[in-house]
Amino acid sequence: MTTAADPTVFVIDDDDLVRAAIQGMLKSVGLRAETFGTTQQFLSCKRPDGPSCLVLDVRLPGVNGLDFQRQLADSGVGIPIIFITGHGDIPMSVKAMKSGAVEFLTKPFQDEDLLNAIRQALDRDRVTREQQNELTELRQRYQSLTARERQVMGLVVSGMLNKQIAYELGTSEITVKMQRGHVMRKMRAESLAELVRMAAKL
């Protein structure tokens, strides 16, 4: 029984035998795979929400794998990609890696090499997702601050003292102290250092 949080390996290759071989190999190590003969089939499928990566053939009908990598990036799909090809050359692999590919494997490749690349890609996607979730949560906390509390937070993380902030905002030190407390509570920051880190991420 798989859940949405389970990792998924997507495979796009126009060769039925290659797709079946990769899917069988992944199944044998307990990984879920979804395979496609074309990039269009991949784009029209509903992708689960868990960590994922894409094993992509370079030569495909209708679209080159490297062009598809760029299309995905342009449309904001940040899935880690492992290229496989029977006709690779060095300039092609350099271009793929510069554009963020995890690995570029020439057929026939060792199962272990592909598996290592897939594990690396899934780990990368997990980390990215955690960071995105953390950032989304931080933004929600920041949205809960009033306009004045945001001003106070900006001045606090710039290193100003309460009395300097009070002078800057034309208010009393006690009011600033209260607002600073609200900021710390709403942002769930345990310390000034943590608040500064949060501000840097935002």
Considering only CA atoms, which of 13, 40, 85, 62 is closest in space to residue 22?
A: 13
What's this model's pTM, rounded to 2 decimal places?
0.75
Cβ contact 10:36 at 8 Å: yes
Q: In DSSP terms, which residues pair with 54 in a beta bridge?
A: 10, 81
Q: Which residues of the chain have pLDDT under 50?
A: 1-2
Other beta carbons within 10 angstroms of residue 109's beta carbon come to: 13
Q: pLDDT tens, 172-201?
A: 999 999 999 999 999 999 999 999 999 998
Question: Going edge to edge, which strands form the sheet with 32-36?
Answer: 32-36, 8-12, 52-57, 81-85, 103-106
Q: Helix axis angle, 111-143 relative to 173-187, nearest 10°?
A: 150
d(CA 141, CA 120): 32
Cβ contact 38:14 at 8 Å: yes
Q: pLDDT tens, 68-92?
A: 999 999 988 889 999 999 877 788 8
Enter the tokens of residue 136: 């989304």
